[in-house]
Copies of this chain bind each other. A is one copy, B any other.
Amino acid sequence: MDLLKDRITTDGIALGSDIVKVDSFLNHQIDVAFMELLGMEFGKRFAEERIDKILTVESSGIAVACMTAKYFNYSPIVFAKKTHPNTMTEEYYGAEVKSFTKNLVSMIIISKKYILPSERILIIDDFIAHGEAAAGMADLVQKAGAELVGVGAVIEKRFQGGGDRLRAKGHRVESLAIIESITDGRIVFQNS
């Protein structure tokens, strides 16, 4: 998606050789009109699919997931939680997610009420890096006995391998911008 690559080039900041900072429009400050364009693009890419629910994880995936929902008949979105809220009194599914930057393993959880075995689920997130968050969400979908239609990521850092590991498992992964490398402070995109 050229518009997104242009935005990353203009507003993104490369930190070292593996971090792309896009907090001016995606994951701290949010450009809502731009999120609508990203949602529309996910809508196009998965247009032929029946989607019953969109799954994301707090917090940075929520905005783009919301904007994607309208292209699937306003399917509900559910965001997996990183902590167990005191209001979650019912049973839940949990999945482990390893953080490479923080070097720790945490849990993401979702109430059993909000993924049903009959549902077709689209996962949406801001980034795929090592793919641990998406793999954790795929695990939640599988535990619920639901069907994973695919994974949509705004930005895939291909050099960290997460997207390709998900593809190797047979999942459809659609990334709106794919970064091949960060070389000498320059963000290099895959041509596609």
A residues apposed to B, CB below 8 Å: 15, 19, 21, 23-25, 28-33, 35, 58-59, 62-63, 66-67, 69-70, 74, 76-79, 81, 85-89, 101-102, 110-111, 113-114
Contact = CB atoms under 8 A, between A and B. Distances in A.
Contact of A67 (B15, B66, B77): B66
Contacts of A28: 78-79, 81, 85, 88, 110-111, 114
Nearest to A75: B32
Given A62-B63, A67-B66, A87 B15 contact: yes
A68 B76 CA distance: 18
17 contacts: A15-B87, A21-B87, A21-B89, A23-B88, A23-B111, A28-B79, A28-B114, A29-B76, A29-B113, A30-B77, A32-B77, A33-B70, A58-B58, A59-B59, A62-B62, A63-B77, A66-B67
Contact of A114 (B19, B29, B76, B110): B29
Contacts of A33: 70, 74
State how many copies of this chain the complex holds.
2
Given A15-B87, A59-B59, A111-B23, A66 B29 contact: no
A79 B59 contact: yes
Contacts of A101: 86
Contacts of A110: 28
A103 to B, nearest CB: 11
Contacts of A114: 23-24, 28-29
A78 to B, nearest CB: 5
Nearest to A59: B58
